[in-house]
A and B are shown apart, each in its own frame.
Chain A
Amino acid sequence: MEKYYQPEIETADRETMKALQSERLIETVKRVYENVEHYRKKMDEMGVTPDDIKSVDDLYKLPFNYKQDLRDTYPYGMFAVPMKDVVRLHASSGTTGKQIVVGYTEKDMDLWADCVARALTAAGCTDEDMVHVSYGYGLFTGGLGADGGALKLGATAIPVSSGNTQRQVTILKDFGSTILCCTPSYALHIAETMQSLGVTKDDIKLKAGVFGAEPWTNEMRQQIEDMLGIKAFDIYGLTEIIGPGVGFECFEQTGMHINEDHFVVEVIDPDTGEVLPEGTQGELVFSCITKEAFPILRYRTRDIGVITREKCSCGRTLVKMTKPRGRTDDMLIIRGVNVFPSQIETVLIEKGYTANYQIVVDREHNFDSIEVRVELSNETFHDTIKGLDKKAKELSEALKVILGINAKVILMEPNSLPRSEGKAVRVIDKRKLLD
């Protein structure tokens, strides 16, 4: 029997949902127009007023918002409430070290927890479960987001955070965790560590996992399910919208139900901005219609996907999206961390290397690796191994400061990397992330 956390919303009929969305959108548009200069300016430039938004069908009239808007208004320019009402900040890394900041009011925290609680419930989690959270706790939304959902549901949250994989295994075994939340690649890494420690799936009590923050294939799902003896569910989210819990998978495992009473989704043609009909592949665009502190409207995610309203066997009527099928920009997701090639380029130039470089991303033993190949010059060359190792290490450390992850630096000869003929191939992604 399928369980829902908020059945009145999750199984609402189309008209009820649309009415709810319309009412909420109208209110939010009014609010941001009045309180946030950024939105008012954009709308004025397009000649749109809050009065033009009479229902959710008018969403297309509103201007798009991009990651660049968040950078331009950094840190708090797009907040719609006074800071005294903001109870939590989260941040996501941005290019050239400039991160973006989002805020939550108490009500925002509550609705976020609802969204995650829906996802956990769809994965079979109840108040009797022990939710082992191996996402990082901190500015990253993963850890505290999953944690909030578990608390809301009345389950037992185990805030293990990421890293120290042997300890993760010990806790799984000794504490009796039943639900695992982390990135899918980390889930596999935990599974492999279990194997190497001689811990079998019968030694642990896990029954399900809710995995997100990076793309993964059904093949990987199968592997995780087999190795851990669980059912593995996908969860979708991004910091700009709220964090994990924008969308989640049900037992049917054929896509993610979007919490559309909070986040209205559109699929658009990334080139023209035109809204595409249901079932057509395009860029996913989300509008937050309930959030108070950071209600971003028509946010261009750069994720490519398809949405469908076809009946789902789980009984939920929430619109479903496919797993993202790629990006419209060059952003890489490595171990759940967003990485732009331009960030790497900036560091190289600062350190005196040429802008001719190559990024090789691979997944070995279910752990993403990133290798940055840079060309040496006579100025950066040193005749001792120690000297060259030091060069590579310095660069690797500078990259870590900006990217937040370890990158292996490979020193190359001049002109050994392919020169750009039109668009240079800067990134070689050997991971098979798409089905």
Chain B
Amino acid sequence: MVKQLSVFIQNKSGKIASVTRTLYENGIDIRALSVADTTDFGILRMLVSDVNKAKEALAKENCIVSINDVDVVAVPDKPGGLAQVLQALSDANIDIEYMYSLIDRGTDDAYMVFRLADGAELLDVLEANGLKTVPAQKLGLN
């Protein structure tokens, strides 16, 4: 499990810029990022170098922030790599709320961030398929 920061983004220009500026001003590194959007609002999801510090800094700026558990899975960086993982999850009836990818230097794997439906457990499925989750330390997350 890895701690992810979610930020509510109202649909107005400059909002994401202001969030990233706040993180920069507080010396926080963004390791992965994804935006989910609807016509009225969006949710910015990030893995950052210091999640608690980031939350505190953004809360001060009147941002709505939450910290959630996500799983980061190392996926072979080759054609069919992701398909294999998703098939395994599907076979195990595990629903995914959302997912996004991140690239790390010095590894042959691609990393996928998964937020599973509440109560779903990933570990057994991964093990059965020879896959591993990536610990926070390895991603430089605090």
Q: Which residue of the partner chain A has the closest CB to B10?
A: A413
Given known contacts A377-B64, A378-B64, A414-B64, A385 and B8 CB-to-CB distance under 8 angstroms: no
Q: Which residue of the partner chain B has the closest CB to A410?
A: B40
- Asked whether B40 lies within 8 Å of A383 as measured between CB atoms, the reply is no
A84 at the interface (CB under 8 A from B): no
Q: How many Å from the CB of A354 to the closest CB on chain B?
A: 12
A60 at the interface (CB under 8 A from B): no
A204 at the interface (CB under 8 A from B): no
A381 at the interface (CB under 8 A from B): yes
B133 at the interface (CB under 8 A from A): no
Q: How many Å from the CB of A263 to the closest CB on chain B?
A: 45
**A310-321 vs B: 1/0 string, CB under 8 Å?**
000000000000
**B82-102 vs A: 1/0 string, CB under 8 Å?**
000000000000000110000
When chains A and B are docked, how far (Å) is the Cα of A378 from the Cα of B41?
Answer: 15
**B56-74 vs A: 1/0 string, CB under 8 Å?**
0001001111101000000
Given known contacts A383-B43, A389-B38, A413 and B97 CB-to-CB distance under 8 angstroms: no
A376 at the interface (CB under 8 A from B): yes
- Asked whether B8 lies within 8 Å of A381 as measured between CB atoms, the reply is yes
- Asked whether B64 lies within 8 Å of A386 as measured between CB atoms, the reply is no
- Asked whether B66 lies within 8 Å of A381 as measured between CB atoms, the reply is yes
Q: Which residue of the partner chain B has the closest CB to A409?
A: B40
A412 at the interface (CB under 8 A from B): yes
- Asked whether B115 lies within 8 Å of A384 as measured between CB atoms, the reply is yes
B49 at the interface (CB under 8 A from A): no
**A348-386 vs B: 1/0 string, CB under 8 Å?**
000000000000000000000000000011100111111
- Asked whether B115 lies within 8 Å of A385 as measured between CB atoms, the reply is no
When chains A and B are docked, how far (Å) is the Cα of A410 from the Cα of B59?
Answer: 21
When chains A and B are docked, how far (Å) is the Cα of A378 from the Cα of B62?
Answer: 10
When chains A and B are docked, how far (Å) is the Cα of A385 from the Cα of B38?
Answer: 8
In this complex, how many residues of chain A approach chain B with their Cβ under 8 Å: the count is 18
Q: Which residue of the partner chain A has the closest CB to B40?
A: A410
When chains A and B are docked, how far (Å) is the Cα of A383 from the Cα of B70?
Answer: 11
**B36-50 vs A: 1/0 string, CB under 8 Å?**
101011010100000
Q: How many Å from the CB of B11 to the closest CB on chain A?
A: 9
**B12-47 vs A: 1/0 string, CB under 8 Å?**
000000000000000000000000101011010100
- Asked whether B63 lies within 8 Å of A385 as measured between CB atoms, the reply is no
- What are the residues of chain B within 8 A of A381 when measuring CB–CB? 6, 8, 64-66
Given known contacts A412-B10, A416-B10, A384 and B63 CB-to-CB distance under 8 angstroms: no
Q: How many Å from the CB of A275 to the closest CB on chain B?
A: 49
Given known contacts A376-B8, A389-B38, A412-B10, A383 and B63 CB-to-CB distance under 8 angstroms: no
- Asked whether B66 lies within 8 Å of A411 as measured between CB atoms, the reply is no
When chains A and B are docked, how far (Å) is the Cα of A410 from the Cα of B40?
Answer: 7
- What are the residues of chain A within 8 A of B38 when measuring CB–CB? 385, 389
- What are the residues of chain B within 8 A of A410 when measuring CB–CB? 40-41
- Identify which of A383, A385, A389, A413 contacts B62 (C-beta below 8 A): A413
When chains A and B are docked, how far (Å) is the Cα of A386 from the Cα of B117?
Answer: 11
Q: Which residue of the partner chain B has the closest CB to A384?
A: B97
When chains A and B are docked, how far (Å) is the Cα of A378 from the Cα of B5?
Answer: 12
- What are the residues of chain A within 8 A of B8 when measuring CB–CB? 376, 381, 388, 411, 413
- Identify which of A386, A388, A414 contacts B41 (C-beta below 8 A): A388
Q: Which residue of the partner chain B has the closest CB to A413?
A: B10
Q: How many Å from the CB of A271 to the closest CB on chain B?
A: 39
Q: How many Å from the CB of B42 to the closest CB on chain A?
A: 9
- What are the residues of chain A within 8 A of B62 when measuring CB–CB? 413-415
Q: Which residue of the partner chain B has the closest CB to A386?
A: B97
- Asked whether B66 lies within 8 Å of A378 as measured between CB atoms, the reply is yes
Which of A383, A414, A415 is the most central at the interface, judged by chain B CB atoms within 10 Å of its CB? A383
14 pairs across A/B with beta carbons < 8 Å? A376-B8, A376-B64, A378-B64, A381-B64, A382-B66, A383-B66, A384-B36, A384-B98, A385-B43, A386-B97, A410-B40, A410-B41, A411-B10, A414-B64
Residues of chain B touching chain A, judged by Cβ–Cβ distance below 8 Å, are: 4, 6, 8, 10, 36, 38, 40-41, 43, 45, 59, 62-66, 68, 97-98, 115
Kindly list 10 other residue pairs between chains A and B, CB separation below 8 angstroms, not including A413-B10, A414-B64: A377-B64, A378-B59, A381-B64, A383-B6, A383-B115, A384-B36, A388-B41, A410-B40, A411-B8, A414-B62
